[in-house]
A and B are shown apart, each in its own frame.
Chain A
Amino acid sequence: MSTKAALRPPPGVGWATQVTLGVAIVFLLCAWAIDLTPGALANLPQQMVTVLGFFYPADMSYGASRVLPALIESIQIAWIGTIIAALLSLPLALLGARTLFPRIARLVKLISATARAFPEILLAIYFVPIVGLGPFAGALAIGISSVGMLTKLGAEVVESIDMGPVEAVQAAGGSRLLALRYAVVPQVLPEIVAHWLFRFELNIRASAVLGVVGAGGVGGVLLNTLRYRHFEKAAAVLLLTILVVLIIDVASGAIRRRLLR
């Protein structure tokens, strides 16, 4: 009896309990600060059902005439943004690889970390007055903010390659540029293109919200329909957005899997 008790860990307030309690207290304080009362939470499901009722039936004629063009614009914004980012990030990814350019890599990684810290929508706030209201500002914002992530991921891919071919090219008298062309790029290209496609999927979602600050796409349409409480029209926006994003995700995912096989 006594030996068993000695073997058992002493009962008491464990580390996990303390963390949970701390989180609970912070949560309650925050909920109180933003006026999220238990009563409001209890009312929520019923309120949501009522509001959801307003969304039915979706106004599909509005969907065909206004939402589809806006969605196409969102796709175009995402595409141009991804192309800009791909073109800029390919050389940066090579320069950012520790294994190839030990001295410049640090600087490139610092730049890419800074670019990653900006959400696209904050960049769009600056690009809209510079290039004017509209999708072009959105594409630039998406392009610049994607460069950071694509450079980071690309540099990691380059760092993970087999250095044998690089040494072989240089041993055969090839220049550093030739080594990049014949030894590095062929090894990394499939994986890097897969990252581009993945970023395109993310950029579709990002470009969908840019309309909120006047940078084109479907976000502005949704904001307007909800502002004037045209819920049937908003339902068309949501349905079509879900459909288009799902189709693009599935198609892009299939291509990515083939690339990485």
Chain B
Amino acid sequence: MNDSAMRPLRPARNWALILGTLLGVTMMTVWSARGIGFSLTELACNLPGGSRLLVESWPPEFSYFPRLLAPLLETLQIAVVGTVIGGILAVPVAVLAARNLTPGVLVWFLDRNVMNVLRTLPDLFWAMLFAAAVGFGPVAGALALTVFTIAVISKLWSESLEAIDMGVPEAVRAAGGSWLAMLQFGAIPQALPHYVSYALYAFELNVRASMILGLVGAGGIGMVLETQRSTFEYPRVTLIVLSVLVIVLVIEQISEAIRRRLA
């Protein structure tokens, strides 16, 4: 008796919330599973045929590799062009979206919300749009990555710009400097290492994305992947996937090493 008085009260559980959440998640899951035709019997029936394809797709057809070199190089070129143009355009977009630096609340509001809307569309949608607008090929891919890069860098960097020490920019203003001078000498130098780091990060994402842009006709290795995939040349598909993975991993390692040194 005395013991129970000493013990702290067991926290009450909100059973309504727990049951409601479980019920909601279960219903959503059942609804989704039915909607997409999730069936284990179908999986079991298809598995023998599918595993034959998996067996066929190994070993990769290494003799095909020389023909991949040019498209792989083109893929990297798309990523570089997209990152550089996007990285330059992201600077004004990020500055205007930083609350402490923006010249007007209206500009800030518009910039922020337009970018939020742009960010909802996946990179491959941009590739399809630009392929329709400027024609199939690497230029469409580079433009798609440009938009994607602006979206990534401006979001991350505007947050770093908001976190800078405002003393220096205010000093520039107090000394009679213009808004641009304030940016150039007061604000941007403080956040420059962040910018370089985010630009490298965007490059990593772009290399990864550029590998699949070709699936919708936006140039690079993805276009080869699409033709080999649609003719079920899976030994070649495996070779392409492996070379893409190696390149992505190597570039990520290099870029991460540089970013760690910057931080």
What residues make up the interface of A, taking CB atoms closer than 8 Å to B?
23, 26-27, 29-31, 33-36, 40, 44, 47-48, 51, 72-73, 75-77, 79-80, 83, 117-119, 121-122, 125-126, 129-132, 134-136, 138-139, 205-206, 208-209, 212-213, 216, 219, 222-223, 226, 229, 231, 234, 238, 241-242, 245-246, 249
State in angstroms the CA–CA spacing of A140 and B117 once bound together. 28
Once the chains are docked, how many angstroms separate the CA of A29 from the CA of B39? Answer: 51
**A–B Cβ pairs within 8 angstroms, 22 of them:** A30-B77, A31-B81, A34-B138, A34-B139, A48-B133, A51-B133, A76-B31, A76-B33, A79-B32, A130-B46, A131-B43, A134-B36, A134-B37, A135-B36, A136-B36, A139-B38, A205-B122, A209-B124, A219-B125, A226-B129, A234-B129, A241-B121
Chain A residues contacting B39 (CB-CB under 8 Å) are 136
A34-B120 contact given A129-B232, A131-B46, A238-B125, CB 8 Å threshold: no
A117 proximity list for chain B (CB < 8 A): 245, 248-249
Residue of A nearest to B211 (CB): A119
Given the contacts A34-B219, A130-B47, A223-B128, A122 and B212 also touching, CB distance less than 8 Å: yes
Chain B residues closer than 8 Å to A212, beta-carbon distance = 124, 215-216
Contacts A33-B77, A34-B142, A51-B132 given; indicate if A122 touches B122 (C-beta within 8 A): no
Q: Interface extent on B, as a size class?
A: 35 or more
Q: With both chains docked as a complex, state the minimum distance between the C-beta of A36 and any C-beta of chain B, in angstroms.
A: 5
8 A Cβ contacts from B214-237 to A:
215-216, 219, 225, 229, 232, 234, 237
Beta-carbon contact of B134 and A44 below 8 Å: yes
A80 and B237 CA atoms in complex are apart in Å by 27
A226–B130 Cα distance when bound, in Å, is 10
B248 to chain A, nearest CB (A): 7
Contact B211 A208 (CB under 8 A): no
Main SS of chain B's interface residues? Answer: helix
Is there a chain A Cβ closer than 8 Å to B178's Cβ?
no
Q: Closest Cβ of chain A: how far from B150's Cβ, in Å?
A: 14
Query: 13 extra interchain contacts, Cβ-Cβ under 8 A, other than A34-B81, A44-B143, A223-B216?
Result: A27-B80, A34-B77, A40-B134, A76-B31, A76-B32, A76-B35, A77-B32, A79-B29, A130-B46, A130-B49, A136-B37, A219-B125, A246-B116
Q: Is the CB of B212 within 8 A of A119?
A: yes
Q: Using CB atoms, name the residue of chain A closest to B219.
A: A34
B182 at the A/B interface (Cβ < 8 Å)? no
Q: Which residues of A contact B122 (CB under 8 A)?
A: 205-206, 208-209
Q: A27-B80, A209-B124, A242-B121 are in contact. Are A80 and B33 (CB under 8 A)?
A: yes
Q: Which residues of B contact A132 (CB under 8 A)?
A: 42, 46
What DSSP secondary structure best describes chain A's contact surface? helix
Closest to B226 in A: A213
Q: Report the minimum CB–CB distance from B177 to chain A (whole Å).
A: 21
> Is B74 an interface residue, CB under 8 A from the partner?
yes
CB-based nearest B residue for A242: B120
- Inside 8 A of B46's CB, which chain A residues have their CB? 130-132
Selecting from B50-58, B91-99, B101-109, the interface stretch reads B50-58
**Complex Cα gap A77–B47 (Å):** 20
Most buried by A among B124, B234, B249: B124
Using A79-B28, A79-B29 as known contacts, say yes or no to A126 and B54 having CB atoms under 8 A apart: yes
Instruction: Answer yes or no: B112 CB below 8 A from chain A CBs.
Output: no
Q: Which residues of A contact B211 (CB under 8 A)?
A: 119
Q: How far is the CA of A132 from the CA of B143 in the complex (A)?
A: 33
Measured CA separation A36–B139 after assembly (Å)? 6
Kindly report which residue of chain A lies nearest to residue B118, judged by CB atoms: A242
Question: B81, B120, B124: which contacts A249 (Cβ < 8 A)?
Answer: B120
Q: Is B187 an interface residue when CB atoms closer than 8 A count as contact?
A: no
Min distance, Cβ A192 to any Cβ of chain B, angstroms: 14
In the complex, which residue of chain B has the Cβ closest to the Cβ of A121?
Answer: B212
Contacts of A76 in B (CB 8 A): 31-33, 35-36
Bound complex: CA A48 to CA B144 (Å):
13
Q: What residues of chain B lie closer than 8 Å to A135, measured between beta carbons?
A: 35-37
B206 CB → nearest A CB, Å: 12
Distance between B257 CB and nearest chain A CB, rounded to angstroms: 15
Instruction: Please tell me if B191 contacts chain A, counting CB pairs below 8 Å.
Output: no
